[in-house]
Chain A
Amino acid sequence: MSDRVASSHAAVPAVEVMVPARPASATRSSRQERAKRLLPVPLAAYLASTLLAWATAALSGEEFWSLAARERWDSVHYLSIASRGYEMFRCRERYPKFPDVWCGNTAWFPGYPMVTRVVSWTGLPVDVSAVLVTELCLVAVFVLLWHLLGARLTPGTGAAMALAVVFPGAIYFHAVFPVTLGALGLLICVLGIQRESLPYAGVGAWIAFSTHLVGGRTNHVGAQHRVRVAQFGLAHTCGEGPGCGGGGCDGILASCRIRVSRDRSLGRLLGAPARRLRSGRSQESVRAGRGLLPHPFFFSRTSPTRTTPGWSSTPATPTRHSSSSTWSSLR
């Protein structure tokens, strides 16, 4: 008994001496172990994704390591928002040959351009910053996916990561588009739910709905934007305004366009002047116009080919408002 007491007394000072040293070394080693567990597979997935995109570009005759390969369609709008901010103006103020409708880039979500602009404060060009944001977000996406998969390499989790690499539409993960940032926001949201952490989930949801329509659609913000854009009459100008670029009007504006097209159909049916509807003052009819098919009102007003001056070098598609078959054939 006395030996036991003596040994316990002897052990106490040793323990007291070791206490301050333990947490630092333990934390460092646990961090290293965690990094070893969390990073290799996501980095390998990112490398595989990049190599696959590179191979696809090479097979398509495109130079992968160039900014031009990363920018298509709406990319020009995100870059314009990142470099000059949002703009909305009457088209005739800048382009006298255009109809008197609204133009601008207010239909595109702000999250991705905001992050791009912040990164560009380091001195990088805006388009390089946009690519950098996309690629860093992609690494983060793979890290979070691996974490959610349990961070243990098994045939199942390895195949799941491979599936994430070749996921349909994953080519957008390397493009100047907010898809990667939006996916990161959704994954942070899911991680927050897993950890039962409201801040995590809230931040993830905020990133998602500030970035992409999918996130915005999950709350009321998207609906509010849609009504606001329709109110300004921007939606029905999309097919002719430079703000549309070459193929851009997705997201909110697409919803707007359909809604206002329905509004026009209803207006014609009820005998309301189309000019009044065009001015965007008839919100009651916008709300009441559900359930009617889009009317080919804009079709006769569009020219066969057109370039959008000052906004995009890609030619606008003339029949997007009216002919879904023509529009779908472009895809």
Chain B
Amino acid sequence: MILAVVVWRVVNRDLEPWEIAAVLLAAGVLAMPFVTGAETSWYRNHALAVVAVPVLRKAPFWLLLPLVLRCAEQYLFLGAMWYGGSLV
């Protein structure tokens, strides 16, 4: 989703340098488990990708709404796993 918005904004040439930095940081966050190994806690690292959320500020609402609902659903599952002690 973020990648699609980034591509869309790159095509429109309105991506600012600090947003590129945020995207690069998020890409590093997402790539981290692949570098350190599968035993690293994925979701704990991926929570740090929240740094790329400002890149979505110009995305249309109808595009963001399904993403928010899907993430909310995933949040509930992950939250239940956390409180159950199985989310590392």
Binding site for B on A (CB under 8 A): 52-53, 56-57, 59-62, 69, 72-73, 141, 145, 148-150, 155-157, 159-160, 162-164, 166-173, 175, 177, 179, 182-183, 186-187, 189-191, 193-194, 212-214, 217-218, 247, 249-251, 254-255, 257-258, 314, 320, 324, 327-328, 330-331
Task: Decide: B37 and A254 in contact? CB cutoff 8 A.
Answer: yes
B83 proximity list for chain A (CB < 8 A): 56-57, 60-62, 69
Task: Decide: A163 and B87 in contact? CB cutoff 8 A.
Answer: no
Q: Please report the C-alpha to C-alpha distance between residue A73 and residue B85 in the assembled complex, in whole angstroms.
A: 8
The answer to whether B7 has its CB under 8 Å from any CB of chain A is no
Question: In this complex, what residue of B is CB-closest to A148?
Answer: B54
Kindly provide the distance from the CB of B79 to the nearest chain A CB, expressed in whole angstroms. 3
Question: In this complex, what residue of A is CB-closest to B56?
Answer: A160
A155 proximity list for chain B (CB < 8 A): 61
Task: Decide: A250 and B44 in contact? CB cutoff 8 A.
Answer: yes
The answer to whether B25 has its CB under 8 Å from any CB of chain A is yes
Closest A-B pairs by Cβ, 5 of them: A169-B47, A56-B79, A159-B64, A155-B61, A194-B18
In the complex, chain B residues 27-59 whose Cβ is within 8 Å of any chain A Cβ: 28-29, 32, 35-51, 53-54, 56-59
Q: Contacts A183-B50, A214-B45, A254-B40 known; A157 to B35 CB distance under 8 Å?
A: no
Number of interface residues of B (CB under 8 A): 53
Task: Decide: A214 and B61 in contact? CB cutoff 8 A.
Answer: no
Task: Decide: B56 and A52 in contact? CB cutoff 8 A.
Answer: no
B53 proximity list for chain A (CB < 8 A): 145, 149, 160, 163-164, 167
Question: In this complex, what residue of B is CB-closest to A167?
Answer: B50
> Could you name 6 residue pairs across A and B whose Cβ atoms are closer than 8 Å?
A73-B88, A168-B47, A169-B44, A169-B78, A170-B75, A217-B28
Q: Contacts A167-B71, A171-B87, A183-B50 known; A190 to B21 CB distance under 8 Å?
A: yes
The answer to whether B76 has its CB under 8 Å from any CB of chain A is yes
Main secondary structure of the interface of A (DSSP, over half): helix
The answer to whether B72 has its CB under 8 Å from any CB of chain A is yes
Kindly provide the distance from the CB of B17 to the nearest chain A CB, expressed in whole angstroms. 7
The answer to whether B12 has its CB under 8 Å from any CB of chain A is no
Q: Please report the C-alpha to C-alpha distance between residue A163 and residue B55 in the assembled complex, in whole angstroms.
A: 12
Kindly provide the distance from the CB of B51 to the nearest chain A CB, expressed in whole angstroms. 4
The answer to whether B82 has its CB under 8 Å from any CB of chain A is yes
Task: Decide: B48 and A183 in contact? CB cutoff 8 A.
Answer: yes
A61 proximity list for chain B (CB < 8 A): 83
The answer to whether B65 has its CB under 8 Å from any CB of chain A is yes
Question: In this complex, what residue of A is CB-closest to B17?
Answer: A193
Task: Decide: A141 and B50 in contact? CB cutoff 8 A.
Answer: yes
B85 proximity list for chain A (CB < 8 A): 72, 314
A249 proximity list for chain B (CB < 8 A): 39
Q: Contacts A160-B56, A170-B47, A172-B43 known; A214 to B28 CB distance under 8 Å?
A: yes
Q: Contacts A190-B21, A324-B39 known; A157 to B48 CB distance under 8 Å?
A: no
Kindly provide the distance from the CB of B72 to the nearest chain A CB, expressed in whole angstroms. 4
A150 proximity list for chain B (CB < 8 A): 57
Q: Contacts A72-B85, A160-B54, A212-B48 known; A171 to B39 CB distance under 8 Å?
A: no
